[in-house]
């Protein structure tokens, strides 16, 4: 489906070649002095870039120029073309048309290796690390220091330690397996891998999504150091306050076209940016909470957690979630929030305590038992934990409900597809075709597929871990409304989010966590961001 032309989008340069005929050699990194843009010339110019997938024109004549030492912010709703554009820049996708110039010369980025040889590094939102390898092995993957055919492991380890210290994380052991790191730690490793090359341009896709406030400040420091050295940064974020802090210029994409290019990041009004992204004004409004129930009519909890604990991760937790209630877990990254959700879901085995759904205990450490009891989880790492990336949307949505579409051992594919189509339409998935592979969707639309799975399943308890991570402003409002609607229909929701306004705006009650311990419980109406941050940083007796 081709996008509707946007009158605000600039026309592609008619002189742009749709098939560049020459490119400099990209077989080996050039010296850093030779990879700096000539005075007055942009480091990167992308002109008239087009890219289509089956049934979708993802990019329709997109232009982008990046200057040395600037932070160029790329904004747009999920499905606007941001991910496709940066994959073209990273050499992961070959464009159907258009031209790319690097330091004024036409280039063909035919592979990630070709892009990296020019000095282009990409840190994806969904990190592409090898979990069973160490930090050092990931950082130097593909360019290990070697002599005589043997890897210089000590040199690689020492180099990794220096880069980690530069990133403000000397505590990360270079020998640690990536699998054993937190989501924030993995983000640091991905950044270290980019800095292990002689980069001139770094693409950062939602780099702050898994970071706590102190780590975000450290990220901004790193970006400042990079740009001071002349390195350019293409920064993608749905958090407009971040764009104001570190951005120089903004390019806005909508429906695969450029809606605006080169806007000043610090002075362009938020309402204008949102209108360019969505085609309409969007207010940051959470759904209205229902009135508190009559004390004599409070229903029994659907989810009851009694003394649940995992040694070294979180201390005994007691909580209840009633039908129609949203309970939020607030705390810094590493406070035990995600670990609690995964233990309730059976993905981790508790060392103490139990989980009851509808008054019945659920076998600990058993995901199948939890799903059968009516529990669904939208995990923080959706690609690694929540999706079948090579399968179509329909199979990802129906995978937890296949028995519903089976007769005599045979799968009724027509019923399966019809139900999946209804579920994705309800979430305004773009595109709404249930047959497209999930791997071709943007991060936000992949999240919608995970939620559609549990909508179809009709779960009683919905566990949401960072439900709007990487989701654009317009889609967030839709998800907020959906979560509240599910609660209003009787679903018990347990929510984790790194964004305090989200927890306080959506939840009815909030449990504040600090270092694996619940330090405070209160109705969301009685809390504000400052109070929660005080509790998170200092702690207070639980009540």
Q: 518 exposed, middle or buried (CB, 10 Å; 0-12, 13-18, 19+)?
A: buried
Maximum Cα–Cα distance for the chain, whole Å?
A: 79
For residue 427, the model assigns a pLDDT of 73
CA 115, 117, 121, 122 torsion-angle sign: positive
Question: Is the separation of the CB atoms in 55 and 147 below 8 Å?
Answer: no
For residue 354, the model assigns a pLDDT of 97
DSSP secondary structure code for residue 382 in this structure: I
For residue 306, the model assigns a pLDDT of 96
Q: Using 50, 70 and 90 to split pLDDT, how confident is the model at 31? A: very low
Q: What is the pLDDT of residues 214-238, one digit of tens each?
A: 788 888 988 998 999 899 999 998 7
Q: Which helix (H) or strand (E) holds 11?
A: none
Can you tell me the mean pLDDT for 296-311? 90
Can you tell me the mean pLDDT for 202-210? 86
Residue 242 has pLDDT above 70, yes or no: yes
Question: Which of the residue ranges 187-191, 220-224, 344-348, 537-541 has the most confident prediction, judged by mean pLDDT?
Answer: 344-348
CATH match of 315-374+459-543 with 3.30.70.270? no
Angle between helices 413-426 and 443-457 (to 10 degrees): 120
Q: What is the pLDDT of residues 35-76, one digit of tens each?
A: 445 556 799 999 999 999 887 889 999 999 999 999 999 998
pTM as predicted = 0.58
- For the chain, what are the domain ranges? 131-197, 315-374+459-543, 390-457
Mean of the per-residue pLDDT values of the chain: 84
Measured between alpha carbons, how far is 341 from 511 in angstroms, rounded to an integer? 13
The token pair at 151 is: 């890897």
3-state secondary structure of 272: helix
């Amino acid at each position: 489906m081709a996008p509707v032309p946007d009158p605000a989008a600039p026309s592609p340069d008619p002189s742009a070649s749709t098939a560049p005929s020459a490119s400099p050699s990209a077989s080996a990194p050039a010296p850093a002095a030779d990879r700096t843009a000539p005075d007055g010339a942009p480091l990167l110019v992308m002109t008239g870039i087009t890219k289509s997938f089956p049934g979708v024109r993802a990019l329709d004549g997109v232009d982008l120029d990046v200057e040395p030492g600037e932070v160029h912010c790329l904004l747009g709703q999920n499905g606007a073309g941001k991910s496709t554009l940066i994959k073209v820049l990273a050499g992961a996708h070959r464009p159907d048309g258009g031209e790319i110039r690097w330091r004024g010369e036409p280039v063909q980025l035919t592979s990630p290796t070709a892009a990296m040889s020019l000095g282009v590094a990409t840190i994806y939102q969904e990190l592409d690390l090898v979990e069973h390898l160490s930090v050092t092995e990931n950082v130097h993957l593909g360019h290990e220091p070697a002599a005589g055919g043997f890897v210089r492991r000590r040199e690689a380890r020492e180099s990794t330690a220096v880069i980690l210290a530069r990133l403000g994380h000397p505590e990360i052991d270079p020998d640690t397996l990536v699998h054993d790191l937190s989501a924030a730690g993995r983000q640091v490793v991905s950044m270290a891998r980019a800095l292990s090359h002689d980069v001139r341009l770094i693409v950062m896709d939602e780099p702050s999504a898994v970071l706590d406030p102190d780590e975000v400040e450290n990220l901004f420091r790193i970006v400042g150091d990079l740009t001071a050295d002349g390195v350019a940064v293409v920064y993608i974020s749905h958090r407009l306050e971040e764009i104001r802090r570190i951005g120089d210029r903004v390019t806005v994409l909508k429906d695969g076209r450029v809606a605006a290019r080169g806007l000043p990041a610090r002075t362009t009004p938020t309402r204008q940016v949102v209108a360019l992204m969505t085609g309409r004004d969007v207010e940051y409004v959470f759904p209205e909470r229902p009135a508190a129930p009559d004390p004599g009519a409070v229903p029994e909890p659907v989810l009851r957690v009694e003394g649940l604990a995992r040694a070294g991760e979180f201390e005994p937790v007691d909580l209840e979630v009633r039908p129609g209630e949203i309970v939020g877990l607030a705390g810094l990254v590493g406070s035990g929030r995600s670990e609690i959700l995964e233990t309730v879901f059976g993905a981790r085995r508790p060392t103490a305590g139990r989980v009851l759904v509808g008054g019945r205990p659920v076998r600990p450490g058993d995901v199948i038992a939890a799903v059968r009891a009516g529990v669904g989880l939208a995990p923080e790492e959706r690609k690694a934990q929540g999706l079948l990336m090579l399968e179509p949307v329909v199979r990802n949505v129906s995978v937890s409900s296949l028995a519903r579409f089976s007769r005599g051992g045979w799968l009724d594919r027509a019923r399966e597809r019809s139900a999946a189509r209804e579920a994705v339409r309800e979430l305004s998935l773009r595109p709404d075709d249930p047959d497209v592979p999930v791997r071709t969707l943007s991060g936000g639309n992949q999240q919608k597929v995970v939620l559609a799975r549990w909508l179809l399943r009709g779960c009683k308890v919905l566990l949401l871990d960072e439900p709007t991570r990487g989701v654009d402003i317009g889609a967030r409002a839709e998800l907020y409304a959906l979560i509240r609607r599910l609660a209003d229909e009787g679903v018990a929701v347990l929510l984790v989010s790194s964004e305090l306004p989200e927890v306080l705006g959506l939840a009815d009650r909030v449990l504040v966590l600090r270092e694996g311990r619940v330090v405070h419980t209160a109705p969301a109406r009685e809390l504000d961001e400052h109070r929660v941050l005080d509790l998170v940083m200092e702690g207070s007796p639980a009540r």
